[in-house]
Structure 1
């Protein structure tokens, strides 16, 4: 359940960053790089907390962290590809 919540948070963060970047006038490429860096940092921090405090094995945290990082990044890539087609 925790993994689903974190992935949902990543998708919400992506939507907020897209909305704010459009309002402020940043390019989509700048927003994409910013989101990727921020989401990678948050995913690593989440994994570190899982290993240190929840005593999860490092291997499982890496596997789950890949999904946690990958789903919002895939959503961003799909958005970028489909928004360019218009």
Structure 2
């Protein structure tokens, strides 16, 4: 459930980034690098919580990190190319 909520948070951040880009009369492609960096840092912090506080190993958390970061990031890249 936690993984789903974090991925959902990535999509909410994506929606806010798209909205912010349109509000400032910019294309989402211009805001994409900022979104990817911010989302990478947040996903890495989530992974750090899993490693340091929940007691999982780095290798146990790595596939979860890839999914958590990858789904919203891939969606963002596809949206940037489409629009």
For Structure 1 versus Structure 2, the TM-score category normalised by the shorter chain is over 0.9
TM-score by length of 1: 0.89
Q: CA deviation at 1:6?
A: 0.4
1:71 aligned residue: 71
In 1, Cα distance between the equivalents of 2:30 and 2:45?
Answer: 23
After the TM superposition, list the runs of 4 or more consecutive aligned residues in structure 1 that deviate by more than 3 angstroms: none
Q: CA deviation at 1:24?
A: 1.3
In 1, Cα distance between the equivalents of 2:33 and 2:18?
Answer: 12
Extract unaligned runs of 5+ from structure 2. Answer: none
CA deviation string 1:22-62 (max 9, x = no partner): 10123323310000000010011110111000101211211
Structure 1 residues 1-86: aligned runs within 5 Å: 1-83=1-83
What is the Cα-based RMSD across aligned positions, in Å? 1.1
In 2, Cα distance between the equivalents of 1:3 and 1:60?
Answer: 14
Extract unaligned runs of 5+ from structure 1. Answer: none
TM-score by length of 2: 0.92
Question: Number of residue pairs matched?
Answer: 83
| More displaced 10-residue stretch of structure 1: 27-36 or 46-55 | 27-36
